[in-house]
Amino acid sequence: AAVKSYAAVDLGASSGRVMVGRVGPDSLELTEAHRFVNRPVRVPEGLRWDILSLYGGVLDGLKAAGQVDSVGIDSWAVDYGLLDADGRLLGNPVHYRDSRTEGVAEKVWATVPAPELYAATGLQYAPFNTLYQLVADRLTGAGRLLLIPDLLTYWLTGEQGTELTNASTTQLIDPRTRGWSYEIASRLGIDLELFAPLRRPGDPAGLLRPEVLEETGLTGPVPVTAVGSHDTASAVAAVPASGERFAYICTGTWSLAGLELDAPVLTEESRAANFTNELGLDGTVRYLRNIMGLWLLQECVRAWGDPDLGELLLEAAKVPALRSVVDAGDAAFLAPGRMPERIAEACRASGQPVPVSPAEVTRCILDSLALAHRKAVEEAQRLADHPVDVVYVVGGGTRNALLCQLTADACGLPVVAGPTEAAALGNVLVQARAHELVADLAGGRDLLTRTQPLTRYEPQGDTVRWRAAQARLAGA
Ligand code: ADP
Ligand code: LRH
């Protein structure tokens, strides 16, 4: 039977890649065509994404990928480019770690109280939700807003749309109807006409423009297919699970830990625990919590002048466990800079030993991440009344065996780790489904379990010391 090729453009906060997936009825092969750094740039007015360099990386990647049957794009969530009435980009997209949203949420809540906002949108509080960014920006002169993957799709095809899974991170979507929340938008004076019409994963998103074909050397027509354009939606689609009794953790710059549900959980208790209800494929809800993730380690490694990560992790494995932990869910770690110092300060403030050497700080970070994973998996099960038997870990963090083992130990559950390039695989599978090579979400997952290397970690020790560490943090 025919094998088809799909290019998956996956832009993470730390790197972008163009992967090629070759899909047949019983085969799924992923290769890397091109990888490029995603380096945010600090200018006097704040922290910005270098969007032209990212688009250049996409074009280079498509050229390296060669002839494909379709292209799909996913990226980090919430951020956007603003266009004028003629479709010209107005300035560089602002980075979600930029400080311009400080204090904005409080202003929004004065108009729509936080509990009401949660009941209507199901979105956790994060200072960078698109809604708060829009209020901070005041939008003078903008005729159109395109989320990052939609902006790149527009540049590739000339067609504008707003893909639904990523739109669900704006805080302007009602997770029950899976459509715009007109009431919230109108009370906050946000014109929903700014957004292009909604697209769903699998919808056509145009053809590569002639100039793009010329620059990449591809022969047209090459269609672009809307995928789960939020990278986390694509990653969750590539969790190699069967059945329903599983939790997942997408580990990369962030850890996104939670459950796949049929319906949102919009209770006050869920809001207080800061769980989010983002939209997934096929009517699913991604019920999860954002944890600061390997960002904590990336920032330390940068501060230490980029030592070898493999050696650092070997040294960290020798440091005694759980000497000090920090709250890896704390938005205090969101901004860049001074990370080793900030971690030391948090340990000091909570009366714990202060980690000094890079190995000690690394161990503190990994213990803290595992503990935050445990807390999220445990609380999600309780709040959604949805018990699990296994935790799937996908994304770049699957390369970190120590983190995977600590996560199994902390959760007291087996961890199945892989695939590493989950977002790209989920992206490929949605394209394959649009072309009827894969039947549905379950069919795609089944193909993954048959074709992708996975590593299993059994929980070791008992969870008592993890529970004690959790209590220590809660009491701090
Ligand atoms: P994102 O998509 O958010 O940019 P990734 O999923 O690519 O992130 O994951 C990046 C993280 O993966 C890095 O921060 C690093 O901690 C981890 N990682 C990458 N390579 C290795 C490796 N060889 N060993 C251990 N960890 C690794
Ligand atoms: C991960 C991610 C996450 C969002 C954050 C802004 O890359 O998309 O799901 O919360 O970036």
Residue 76 Cα to ligand 2 middle (Å): 5
pLDDT for res 246: 98
Q: Look at the pTM and tell me if it is higher than 0.80.
A: yes
- Site residues for ligand 2, CB cut-off 6 Å: 12-13, 76-78, 96, 230-232, 253-254, 256, 290
How far away, in angstroms, is 13 Cα from ligand 2 center? 8
Closest CA to 260 of 386, 376, 167: 386
pLDDT of residue 1: 62
Ligand closest to 296 (CA) is: 1
Count CB neighbours of 155 within 10 A. Answer: 20
- The amino acid present at 2, given as its one-letter code, is A
State the burial class of residue 124 (Cβ atoms within 10 Å of its Cβ: 0-12, 13-18, 19+): buried
Query: Residue 80 CA: which ligand is closest?
Result: 2
45, two tokens: 């007015």
The rounded Å distance from CA 200 to ligand 1 centre is: 29
Phi and psi at 58, nearest 5°, equal -65, -45
CA of 438 to the centre of ligand 2 (A): 26
φ, ψ of residue 185 to 5 degrees: the values are: -60, -45
Ligand 1: which of 298, 365, 400 to mutate, most ligand atoms within 8 Å of CB?
400
**What is the position in ligand 1's atom list of the atom closest to the CA of 11?**
2
Q: State residue 261's pLDDT score.
A: 98
Find the DSSP H helices in 68-163: 104-111, 114-121, 130-137, 148-157
Widest Cα–Cα separation across the chain: 63
pLDDT of amino acid 475: 78
**Angle (CA) 94 11 295, round 5°:** 75
Question: Is residue 201 in contact with ligand 1, taking CB distance under 6 Å?
Answer: no
The catalytic residue positions are 231
**366 Cα–ligand 1 center, Å:** 13
User: CA nearest 71: which of 15, 152, 164?
Assistant: 152
The count of residues in the chain is 476
- Give pLDDT < 50 ranges for the chain: none
For ligand 2, what atom is nearest to the CA of residue 278?
9
| CA 269 – ligand 2 centroid, Å | 23
- 400 CB less than 6 Å from ligand 1? yes
Strand order of the sheet with strand 455-457? 276-279, 285-291, 255-261, 246-251, 390-394, 415-417, 455-457
Q: ipTM for the complex?
A: 0.99
Which of 47, 73, 232, 427 best tests ligand 2's pocket when mutated (most atoms within 8 Å of CB)? 232
Distance 94 CA to ligand 2 centre (A): 14
Q: Whose CA is nearest to atom 2 of ligand 2?
A: 76
Q: Residue 2's pLDDT is what?
A: 86
- The CA R_g of the chain, rounded to the nearest whole Å, is 21
- Ligand 1 touching residue 395 (CB < 6 A): yes
Q: In a mutational test of the pocket of ligand 1, which residue from 9, 11, 14, 292 has the highest number of ligand atoms less than 8 Å from its CB? A: 14
What is the tens place of the pLDDT at every residue in 152-202?
A: 999 999 999 999 999 999 999 999 999 999 999 999 999 999 999 999 999
Query: Which protein residue has the closest C-alpha to ligand 1 atom 27?
Result: 399
Per-residue confidence (pLDDT) for residue 460, from 0 to 100: 97
Residues 6+ apart with CB under 8 A from 443: 433
